[in-house]
């Protein structure tokens, strides 16, 4: 599997292992089986148990189409729905331990998932996924066209470094957190913040620290109450550890 180098907005390089084509295909197959199972179960319930066909026969053509579309909505929006709820994973991706991430190192957002989902029409539905396979193989960051457009990639979590080795902060039992909204951050966000913070402290790059502080305030939607940027970022990391260890 290829190594994926992600350069964050704070100019910090982070290495991930890109998900292999095999893993992505298997995840897709698992998700497709789940979607097919949904169709079979819903068909049995609606048409066998509730005799929906008799109800549809009494409707006009447009009403019939509307009912069928409603029935198909979970099938159509399956990937978008789960990736949005599970932070870049569908049941298939979770089973295979792979995940969608932004190539700038931050958690992908709903617009990113929407772009990826929409371009599945070209990547996967057209030519039975051949376009996706070719683009993943040809791309340096293992991206299909939807990933390239959304600025995302799919990484493997199997060899993921745990939180204890990356972002664990020394906090005592009497520690009192200040910013509960730090739970808006992901483990990856916290790791990037710590690595950027440590790098900026070492090089005494105060401008990078200020940019990092502004970014954190934007993500957790609060304003710093600490007297200096060092204290604020240190507090955010400790608060994140406090809340994630309690969860």
**79-94: per-residue pLDDT in tens?**
999 999 998 999 999 9
C-alpha angle with apex 101: 139 to 167, nearest 5 degrees?
A: 125
* Mean pLDDT (whole number) for 121-138: 91
- Cβ proximity of 75 and 38 under 8 Å: yes
Which range among 4-8, 150-154, 236-240, 242-246 shows the weakest confidence by mean pLDDT?
4-8
d(CA 169, CA 239): 9
Place of tokens 């902060």: 169
Q: Report pLDDT for 162.
A: 43
Which range among 16-25, 155-164, 216-225 shows the weakest confidence by mean pLDDT?
155-164
Per residue in 210-221, is it b (16+ CB within 10 Å) or e — as a string? Answer: ebbbebbeebbe
Q: Is the pLDDT of residue 216 over 50?
A: yes
C-alpha angle with apex 129: 124 to 131, nearest 5 degrees?
A: 95
% pLDDT > 90, the chain: 39
| Long-range own/partner contacts, residues 193-202 (CB < 8 A, 24 or more apart) | 193/233, 193/236, 193/237, 194/166, 194/167, 194/237, 195/12, 195/14, 196/8, 196/10, 196/12, 197/233, 197/234, 197/237, 199/10, 199/12, 200/10, 201/230
d(CA 22, CA 245): 34
Q: Report pLDDT for 3.
A: 66
What are the tens digits of pLDDT across the range 176-215? 889 999 988 887 788 888 888 888 888 888 888 888 899 9
φ/ψ bin of 127: left (φ > 0), alpha (ψ from -120 to 50), beta (otherwise): left
User: CA dist 215 to 10, 24, 183, Å?
Assistant: 10, 32, 15
> Given pLDDT bands bounded at 50, 70 and 90, which one contains residue 1?
low
d(CA 18, CA 157): 9
DSSP state of 89: -
**Which residue from 68, 82, 84, 69 is spatially nearest to 28, judged by alpha carbons?**
82
Q: Is the pLDDT of residue 230 over 80?
A: yes
- Cβ proximity of 147 and 154 under 8 Å: yes
**Which residue from 134, 161, 117 is spatially nearest to 17, judged by alpha carbons?**
161
Q: Report pLDDT for 31.
A: 97
> Given pLDDT bands bounded at 50, 70 and 90, which one contains residue 244?
confident
Question: What is the average pLDDT value for the chain, to the nearest integer?
Answer: 84
What are the tens digits of pLDDT across the range 62-119? 888 888 899 899 999 999 999 999 989 999 999 999 999 888 766 789 999 999 999 9
> Given pLDDT bands bounded at 50, 70 and 90, which one contains residue 172?
low
Q: What's the pTM?
A: 0.64
Q: Report pLDDT for 103.
A: 82
């Amino acid at each position: 599997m290829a190594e994926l180098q992600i350069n964050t907005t704070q100019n910090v390089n982070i290495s991930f292992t890109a998900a292999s084509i095999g893993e992505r295909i298997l995840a897709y197959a698992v998700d497709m089986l789940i979607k097919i199972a949904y169709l079979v179960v819903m068909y049995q319930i609606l048409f066998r148990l509730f005799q929906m066909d008799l109800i549809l026969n009494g409707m006009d053509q447009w009403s019939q189409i509307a009912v069928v579309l409603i029935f198909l909505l979970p099938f159509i929006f399956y990937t978008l729905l789960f990736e949005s709820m599970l932070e870049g994973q569908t049941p298939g991706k979770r089973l295979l331990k792979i995940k969608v991430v932004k190539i700038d190192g931050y958690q992908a957002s709903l617009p990113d998932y929407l772009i990826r989902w929409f371009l599945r029409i070209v990547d996967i539905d057209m030519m039975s996924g051949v376009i996706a396979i070719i683009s993943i193989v040809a791309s340096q960051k293992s991206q299909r066209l939807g990933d390239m457009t959304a600025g995302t990639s799919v990484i493997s979590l199997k060899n993921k470094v745990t939180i204890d080795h990356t972002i664990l902060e020394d906090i005592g039992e009497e520690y009192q957190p200040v910013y509960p909204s730090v739970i808006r951050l992901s483990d990856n966000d916290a790791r990037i913040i710590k690595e950027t913070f440590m790098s900026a402290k070492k090089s005494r790059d105060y401008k990078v620290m200020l940019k990092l502080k502004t970014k954190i305030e934007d993500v957790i939607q609060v304003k710093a109450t600490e007297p200096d940027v060092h204290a604020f970022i240190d507090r955010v990391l400790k608060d994140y550890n406090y809340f994630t260890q309690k969860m």
